[in-house]
Every structure is written in C-alpha cells, then in structure tokens.
Amino acid sequence: MTSKRELEIYLHIPFCVKKCFYCDFLSAPADEETRTAYLEALMREVRERAGDYRNYRVVSVFVGGGTPSAVSEELMAKLLKTLREGFEIAPDAEITIEVNPNTADKEKLYCYRESGVNRLSIGLQSADDGELAAIGRVHTFAQFLETYQNARDCGFSNVNVDVMSALPGQTVEKYLHTLDAVLTLKVPPEHISSYSLILEEGTRLYEMVSQGKLCLPDEESDRRMYELTGRILKKAGYARYEISNYAKEGFECRHNCGYWTRREYLGLGVGAASLIGNHRFKNNDSLQEYLKDPLGQRIEEQELSVKEEMEEFMFLGLRLTKGVSADRFMQLFGRELEEIYGAVIARYTKAGLLRYKNEGKGERRLALTARGMDVCNTVMAEFLL
C-alpha cells in the first residue's frame, strides 16, 4: 500500500480589530456580515479543494491572519470541522491558531481546544503599554496576561509568544523588560518568536517615522537587543532553531519548519500561497473577488525549474540553525552540494560564516555559524544561481 504524502494547510483569516501601524500583511477591519460571508466562502474552498488531496495526510494546520481570533468562535469551530470532514488530519497533527489579547476570551479559547487546536501563538510584541500604543496595537500588557492565563486554564500546553525589538522609543533596558516579563510568567511559554521591527514602505509607521513623529532606536541599540535575545533565551532554556525563533526542547513550530524544509503546503483563503510538488501558486488578494468565487482565484502559477528548487532548498533551509543536509541535496537533485555551490561554500566557510557539521548516522549538514546568522541575508543571497 502506498503511503500518503505529508501536507501542511494554511488558513488565512484577513481580519483584525484595527490594522497595526507597522503591518503590511493582507488584513483589515471588517463588519460581522463580511466576516461571516468570508468564512462561508473559505469553507466552500476547503470542501471543493479537499478532493484533490485524497493521497495526502495533513500533518500541520496553521490559522493565521490578520487576527483569526477576531472572528467568532462559532465560525472558527465550523471552519475546523469542515476541514476535518474534507481532509485526513493526522492524529498527532500540530494545529495552531494566532490570537491577539483582547480578542480571545476564555470561552473562545476553550472552544478552540474543543475544536482540536493544540497550539496557540499569542501576539504580545511588548510588555510596555507606551510601546504598544506607538505601534498601533489595540491591547495592553494586562490584557495579554489575562489571555495567557486563560490559555493555560483552558489546557493549552504549547504556547508561542511573539515579541518585537527596535520599536519606536524603545531602549535596550525596556526591551529586556519585555523579555523578562515573558520569562517570569508562572508557566513560561514553550516557544518565543523575537522579531526586529522592519519598517515597511506604505505603512502608517513608515510615514510617522519619515515625518519625524516617531524615532526608532539607533543601529547599535538594535544590534544589542538582537545579541542579548539569544544569550538570555539560551540561559532560560530555549534553543534557537531558526533566525528569529526559540523553543524549549520538542516545541519547535513544526508548521514553520515545514516551510523552511519545503514540505508541500496548501494555502486556503484570500491571498494564500501554496507549494505542491514543484508547483507554486497563490490566490488573488482581492477580498471582493474571493467572496464572489473562492475557487476561481488562483494566480501567479509557477512550475519551478530544478535550478529554482535548488535555490529554495538552500536559502530556506539555511534559516534553520541545523542547516541543510548535503545527503538530502544529493538525493533530491542527483548532484553533490559542492558541485553546484562549491565556490560560495568555500568563500563563506573561510570567512567563518558557514560550516559543515555531522549529525546522527553520519549525516553531513551545511549551516550558518553564529556570525553567519548575524548576516544571514547576505550569505543566503549568494545561493541564488
């Protein structure tokens, strides 16, 4: 009997209470009627697409946004039930939903647990209410504490907390206060994602900084926050397994690791992207068009060449601290890693930014060094052929 292929599913919920000042994601506030119509359209897409994936077993589900917790728990429960009816979900599948404080009360979180969600990702960003206001968040630190405790009370034992550094007006000391506030929770999170603020053109924050209304930390302070994050979280028992992600042993985000190792994934919902085999495609970004016809929105379809697959294998896999497997590269592409990338590997190994290491059973892996992680974008760009 042929074993089923592994598949990840991403469900996009494009709604939020208010768009954060730094956000350039496909999301916006919407009324209840629009949210309900969208969930109905999304469930239709789930049902109709399911038949194409009978030979797959779903190993992870990620409900992201936007703010998925901005929709009612009844709609979310209905969506997850529809998903289970259409797709084969592995018994041990990781099922994550993103929530923001002030949109996820205890009743909603309990409903998620009853619907099979076993991992939460809570967007804190900062423990300082002034910093939260400066970036347009609609919650306070006190509301985060309430949401976090409710999550534990509802039985969630796999929780991620997002924090951000280099925020407007943020000092190194204030950022360390946020880290400390997370680490000293009665039951600290199993996973922490720490991102440095990226100022995206076209966002409200970009305009405010450009007009001098807000001031970002200088480069030296930003660098110091980055360095201290790794040091402090390592001391607290979190291993860095990806550029911006830290986890206690066994709690790495399986869904995101799938992206970085090019596991096949199906994105459902407006603007959602997919990778099936060597075929990349995504849905149209137009909410109104999606509501009219959720099945007719696929755009940007691309059959990846072997060269493009090699590139993705390298620049995605090198995000992980364990790096990429030279044996796996040979297995997939029938070429030695050094045959394709020998000059790049030699140059950056000599510079101390890349290194080979041996894992169990003699597996040889190429990974960024600690210094290489610091300049990862520069190194990874060299793997574009």
CB 291 within 8 A of CB 44: no
Q: Show the CA angle centred on residue 104, arms to residues 141 and 28, nearest 5°.
A: 90
Give the separation between CA 209 and CA 223, rounded to whole angstroms: 19
Total-model pTM: 0.95
Tokens at 266, concatenated:
């199906």
Cα torsion 353, 354, 360, 361 to 10°: value is -160
8 Å CB contact between 282 and 272: yes
Q: Which of 186, 192, 124, 120 is closest to 158 using CA atoms?
A: 120
pLDDT, position 211: 92
Confirm if 235 and 185 have CB atoms less than 8 A apart: no
Domain extent listing, the chain: 5-259, 305-385
| Amino acid (1-letter code) at residue 337 | L
Please name the amino acid found at residue 288: Q
The predicted pLDDT at position 23 comes to: 85
Question: Between β-strands 239-242 and 245-247, what pairing exists: parallel, antiparallel or unpaired?
Answer: antiparallel
Task: Look at residue 26 in the predicted model and tell me its pLDDT.
Answer: 78
Q: Looking at this protein, which amino acid is placed at residue 335?
A: R
What is the CATH code for 305-385? 1.10.10.920
Number of helical (H) and strand (E) elements in the chain, helices listed first: 15, 15
Predicted local distance difference test score (pLDDT) of residue 2:
58
* Contact of 267 with 274, CB cutoff 8 Å: yes
pLDDT of 360 reads 65
User: Which residue from 310, 334, 329, 327 is spatially nearest to 385, judged by alpha carbons?
Assistant: 310
How far, CA to CA in Å, does 290 sit from each of 28, 68, 153, 285, 299? Answer: 15, 17, 37, 8, 12
Q: What is the largest CA-CA distance in the chain?
A: 65
Q: In a structure prediction context, what are the per-residue pLDDT tens digits for the chain, which is 385 residues long? A: 458 999 999 999 999 888 888 887 878 888 999 999 999 999 999 999 999 999 999 999 999 998 999 999 999 999 999 999 999 999 999 999 999 998 999 999 999 999 999 999 999 999 999 999 999 999 999 999 999 999 999 999 999 999 999 999 999 999 999 999 999 999 999 999 999 998 888 899 989 999 999 899 999 999 999 999 999 999 999 999 999 999 999 999 999 999 999 999 999 999 999 999 999 999 999 999 999 999 998 887 899 999 999 999 999 999 999 999 999 999 999 999 999 999 999 999 999 999 998 876 778 999 999 999 999 989 999 999 8
Pick the CATH number of 5-259 from 3.40.50.1100, 3.40.1180.10, 3.20.20.70, 3.40.640.10: 3.20.20.70
Asked if 45 contacts 74 with a C-beta cutoff of 8 angstroms, the reply is no
Neighbours of 164 (CB within 10 A): 24
Q: Give the whole-angstrom CA distance, residue 33 versus residue 233.
A: 43
